Amino acid sequence: MAVTDRGPSGERVRKAAVKLFAAKGFHGTGIRDLATEAELSSASLYHYMGTKEQLLAGIMTECLGHLLTGARLAVAGVADPRERLGRLVVVHVIAHAVRPEETQVVDNEVRALSPETRRGVVELRDAYELLWAETIDEGVRAGAFHPGEPAVTRLALLEMCSGVARWYSPRGALSLEQLAGHYAELAMRALGCADSGPGPDLARCRAVVTRVWGAPDEVPSTGH
Amino acid sequence: MAVTDRGPSGERVRKAAVKLFAAKGFHGTGIRDLATEAELSSASLYHYMGTKEQLLAGIMTECLGHLLTGARLAVAGVADPRERLGRLVVVHVIAHAVRPEETQVVDNEVRALSPETRRGVVELRDAYELLWAETIDEGVRAGAFHPGEPAVTRLALLEMCSGVARWYSPRGALSLEQLAGHYAELAMRALGCADSGPGPDLARCRAVVTRVWGAPDEVPSTGH
Amino acid sequence: MAVTDRGPSGERVRKAAVKLFAAKGFHGTGIRDLATEAELSSASLYHYMGTKEQLLAGIMTECLGHLLTGARLAVAGVADPRERLGRLVVVHVIAHAVRPEETQVVDNEVRALSPETRRGVVELRDAYELLWAETIDEGVRAGAFHPGEPAVTRLALLEMCSGVARWYSPRGALSLEQLAGHYAELAMRALGCADSGPGPDLARCRAVVTRVWGAPDEVPSTGH
Amino acid sequence: MAVTDRGPSGERVRKAAVKLFAAKGFHGTGIRDLATEAELSSASLYHYMGTKEQLLAGIMTECLGHLLTGARLAVAGVADPRERLGRLVVVHVIAHAVRPEETQVVDNEVRALSPETRRGVVELRDAYELLWAETIDEGVRAGAFHPGEPAVTRLALLEMCSGVARWYSPRGALSLEQLAGHYAELAMRALGCADSGPGPDLARCRAVVTRVWGAPDEVPSTGH
DNA sequence: TATGAATGAGATTTCATTCAT
DNA sequence: AATGAATGAAATCTCATTCAT
């Protein structure tokens, strides 16, 4: 009965919710929209989700959990702040590029949660952003980064990278690796990093995202 | 009866809508919420707004109009692409910092518009972004900018600058001018602009924003 | 908007609720039943009642308030416990006979209230029953009553008198005064009151009930 | 599949229904409530009950059957109307005291039955009340009772005695026998019976109730 | 200018029930 | 014997909107 259930129908419910919440927003998506998309009656929906809000919370928690796990895996054992931050950027960008719906829901719908539910989600998000903040601080202390305002720069970078979810298309000119590499370069420039070195290990980051999220759903041939 | 009406009550309706649409989203805001916030009955609301959607469209059109006017005023007569782009960034950032509610509504609620209404709004937004695109192209042609991917960089910069509306507080450590100057610097770095020169004319840009939007409402002493 | 509002439609809503809650119970009465009975759309119902539960609570509070006021008026200034208790019985019986619907709702639907709402209703009911308990105690102390078990006898009498609401019909053989007088006599017998005296002032009690509740609605010619 | 089935689970269903129908009413009790209380899935419930209404009807029929059987057993062979009525009162009171849930369901939920189902239940109830009516009439004819209004007195006594189910607790001050004896005395007083004699055979009545209903469930140590 | 009254349509959620397994 | 999956119908309540005053 919980949102984490995974029968064939439960999976359809989750996918329908991710798609519609991303496209129309939580409040813009009705139960009947979900039911139609999931090919179930609206009453049957309630076997798989608790309430609509619990469904949203489940999606957000899972997505943030994946993001956090991915980021930690990607930087595990990496000491150089430039490589660490580069990997954070790359994982973030790739995740937002291959999972634009989940990540947009996380970015846009926090306000739709009730205060109690929101608390847990915000804690996860804060834990994730803390990884960025710590890494930037380390880079500053190590003399690698020279941002004017570390906190402002962190926020600016996060917004910039998250924005990818809103426009990136795998059918566009850029491959995922090119995109992520470009953003890593932008980040280094923003941090005033003169010698950004060879750039983060793109392949490893890509593998981490795939490990955490599973293979992306087959890319639909139209739309986006 | 039109959305452009401006009596004392009509103004309250507009402000209520901006505040609530920004805070809870268009679909998350009910007519009664608006009525309560505007201190009118919900029936009275309909003297000032047409439908709820027309109210939203009016807010977006006005805000985008201001943004467009401000940007054009700021760069009028400026030839140097670096100074032009710097001013675009500064106006954008200041506008998003002093009018976070209107600008967030513009950024988040386009999808809530019906297709017909959306067309006009999207045209305005495209016209605005065209200013950025043209300026970046000029800079590239002039050898001032060296972005890896001009289009990607433009999108990245816009997302980054718009994000300011989500977190900037006038009670924080940064003044508007510091903030805007910092973002202009980030933009130059992102564009690979080696010699960014003295930076854009912050005072002039600030004045333009004020001219276009009027003085910001007195900053409330608490909250955000 | 509150349940105490009294426009022509609001009055209809209240009457519909009293009738249907009495006949079918709170949970057995749907919003649409209420709307049909009140000759309004179900949406319009919500102009007059808050929620269905608030409507119920309003009915109960008003009825208990009337009962309490009536009882206090009837015994005001009366010293003799026999006359006092007789009047309590008579007022109770007449009230249950002329307002069988309200009183049955009070007697049967307390459990349908949420805990918070229930508290206030139960307090009123306890205040009312306290009048009976005090009067019986006084009579015992004065040597007028000789009940085996005062508390049990009080409960037994209350149940007995409240039962009137379930079966009394003004078209039956007994007039209100006969009925009430009979119950007063039963009560005296139950309390082991050898000399019950002339019996309580029936006319005064009848007048009190009328004063408190207003004239009973014209007795419908059929049904009950 | 029928309501009379009695496996271990079927018994749990019946008990759950009695408990919940008494506590929350028929319409206030959902199938899922029943399932939870009976520790079965809601689908499994349907192996033991027919429909929810048949479950209710079964409970009422059984309870009324027990009541009727008990009353007949108790008065079998007793000629004196005072002893007969005393026993009717005592059996009724004891039954309502030891089976408060079943008896409350019978008293409160008749209206929840469909007309067809209701007919049979009402017939049983009428047969039961006829025992009281006949006995009172006999007593009047024999000059033992002097009620003002026999029919009214009968109703008043029944309401009074049934009320026991709403408040009696085996953990209170009164034993079952004391309680029942007290009510028998109240009844004699109400009927104007000057010489009520030694009182009804309490032990025999208690035994009859136990025979008919089986031993009451072990009294839980808390609650009620 | 302003609003109380009113509503059809629709919101989310629960209802009692069935059925394949 | 037991249940997870499923659903049409209905529950309560809110929606945006209109209109007479």
Residue B216 has what pLDDT?
Answer: 67
In a shared domain, residues C101 and C77: yes
Q: Is residue D187 part of a domain?
A: yes
Give residues with Cβ within 8 angstroms of D207, minimum separation 6: none
Q: What is the DSSP letter of B142?
A: T
Q: Is the pLDDT of residue B224 over 60?
A: no
In a domain, D220, yes or no: no
Given this model, what pLDDT does residue D216 score? 66
Q: Answer yes or no: is pLDDT of A105 > 60.
A: yes
Query: Which CATH number does the domain housing residue A106 bear?
Result: 1.10.357.10
Residue B131 within any structural domain of the chain = yes
In D6-142, which ranges are continuous DSSP H helix?
Answer: 8-24, 31-38, 42-48, 52-75, 81-98, 100-108, 115-141
Q: B15-19: which pairs have CB atoms within 8 A and are 24 or more residues apart?
A: B17/B49, B17/B55, B17/B56, B17/B59, B18/B59, B18/B101, B18/B102, B18/B105, B19/B101
Is residue A121, in this structure, part of any structural domain at all?
yes
Evaluate whether residue D223 is within a structural domain.
no
B-contacting residues of A 114-153, CB under 8 Å?
148-149, 152-153
Q: Are residues B10 and B116 in the same domain?
A: no
Inspect the interface and report whether the beta carbons of A25 and B182 lie closer than 8 Å. no
Give the tokens for residue A198: 């060879």
For residues C102 and C21, membership in a common domain is answered with no
In this prediction, residues D185-211 reach a mean pLDDT of: 92
Does residue D65 sit in the same domain as residue D120? Answer: yes
- Which of the four pLDDT bands, split at 50, 70 and 90, describes residue D6? low
Task: Report pLDDT digits (tens) over A159-202.
Answer: 999 999 999 999 988 999 999 999 999 999 999 998 877 899 99
What's the mean pLDDT in D176-180? 95
Residue D200 lies in a domain: yes
Q: What total number of domains does chain D contain?
A: 2
Supply the CATH number for residue C34's domain.
1.10.10.60
Nearest to A190 among B148, B173, B190 (CB): B190
User: What is the mean pLDDT of the segment spanning B129-146?
Assistant: 97
- From first to last of the 224 residues of chain C, give the pLDDT tens digit: 444 456 788 999 999 999 999 999 999 999 999 999 999 999 999 999 999 999 999 999 999 999 999 999 999 999 999 999 999 999 999 999 999 999 999 999 999 999 999 999 999 999 999 999 999 999 999 999 999 889 999 999 999 999 999 999 999 889 999 999 999 999 999 999 987 778 999 999 999 999 999 876 654 444 33
Q: Which of residues 19-58 of B touch strand E (CB under 7 A)?
A: 40-44, 46-47
pLDDT tens-digit profile of A82-95?
999 999 999 999 99
**Do residues B172 and B100 touch, judged by C-beta distance below 8 A?**
no
Tell me the H-state helices in A49-149: 52-75, 81-98, 100-108, 115-141
Domain of residue D169, residue span: 59-213
CB A110, CB A174: distance < 8 Å: no
Covered bases, chain E (protein CB within 7 Å): 1-20
Element (H, E) at C48: helix C42-48
Please name which of D57, D28, D103 lies closest in space to residue C26, comparing C-alpha atoms.
D28
Q: Same domain for A42 and A74? A: no
Burial B211-224 (b: 16+ CB within 10 A, else e): ebbeeeeeeeeeee
Contact in structure between C65 and C4 (CB atoms under 8 Å)? no
Query: In the structure encoding, which two tokens stand for residue C171, read together?
Result: 């078209």
- On whether residue B223 sits in a domain, the answer given is no
Q: Do A155 and B148 touch (CB under 8 A)?
A: no
Query: Do D37 and D65 have their domain in common?
Result: no
Task: Taking residues D127-153, report their average pLDDT.
Answer: 95
- Residue A172 is predicted with a pLDDT of 87
Chain C contact for D182 (CB, 8 A cutoff): yes
Distance B85 CA to F6 C1' (A): 59
Domain identity same for A138 and A207: yes
User: What pLDDT, on the 0 to 100 scale, is given for residue B6?
Assistant: 65
Same domain, B46 and B100: no
**Whether residue B83 sits in one domain with residue B27:** no
Domain shared by A73 and A4, yes or no? no
Q: What is the pLDDT of residue B215?
A: 76
Strand E–CB C31 distance below 7 A: no
Where does the pLDDT of residue A148 fall: very low under 50, low under 70, confident under 90, or very high at 90 and above? confident
Q: Rounded CA gap, C26 and A101, in Å?
A: 45
Q: State residue A58's pLDDT score.
A: 97
Residues C33 and C79 in one domain: no
Q: How far apart are CA D166 and CA D107, in angstroms?
A: 11
Shared domain for B115 and B157, answered yes or no, is: yes
Identity (one letter) of the amino acid at A133?
Answer: A
For testing contact with chain B, the best of A152, A168, A175, A185 (most B CBs within 10 A)? A152
Contact C165, C22 (CB under 8 A): no
Structure confidence at residue A37 (pLDDT): 97
**Any domain includes A224:** no
Please give the structure tokens belonging to residue B35.
């009525």
Q: How far does the CA of residue D152 sit from the closest CA of chain C (Å)?
A: 8
pLDDT in tens, B174-200: 999 999 999 999 999 999 998 877 899
Nearest to D198, CA basis, from D209, D184, D210, D183: D184
Cα separation, B91 vs B201, in Å, equals 10
Taking the C-alpha atoms of residue C213 and residue D1, their distance in angstroms, rounded to an integer, is 51
Strand F footprint, Cβ within 7 Å = A 5, 7, 9, 40-44, 46-48; B 29-32, 42-43, 45-46, 51-53; C 29-32, 42-43, 46, 51-53; D 7, 9, 40-44, 46-47
Instruction: Write the residue in D27, D153, D182 that is nearest to C152 by C-beta.
Output: D182
